[in-house]
Chains A and B, each alone.
Chain A
Amino acid sequence: MTRPVRVLFFATARTAVGRAEVDWPVPPGGISAAALAGELETAYPALARTLVTSRLVRNGRYVRRRSERVRPGDEFAIHPPYGGG
Chain B
Amino acid sequence: MSVRLTARPLSIPQAWRELEGPGTGAVVVFAGRVRADAGPLGRVLALVYEAHEGPALARFRALESRARRRFGVTRSVIWHRVGRLRVGEVSVIVGVASPHRAAAFRAARDLIEELKVTVPIWKTERARPVRRPRRPRDRRAGRSAG
List residues of A whose CB falls within 8 A of some B CB. 8, 10-11, 57, 60-61, 77, 79-80, 82-85
Contact = CB atoms under 8 A, between A and B. Distances in A.
Contact of A11 (B32, B58, B122): B122
Interface string B57-94: 01000000000000000000000100000000001100
A84 B49 contact: yes
Nearest to A77: B52
A57 B116 CA distance: 18
Interface string B16-55: 0000000000000000100000000000000001111011
Contacts of A79: 52, 120
A83 B123 contact: yes
A77 B53 CA distance: 12
B127 interface: no
Interface residues of B, number: 22
The 8 tightest CB contacts between A and B, nearest first, are A84-B121, A11-B122, A85-B116, A60-B55, A83-B122, A85-B32, A60-B54, A83-B123
A60 B51 CA distance: 12
A60 B49 CA distance: 19
Nearest to B55: A60
A10 B52 CA distance: 8
A60 B91 CA distance: 24
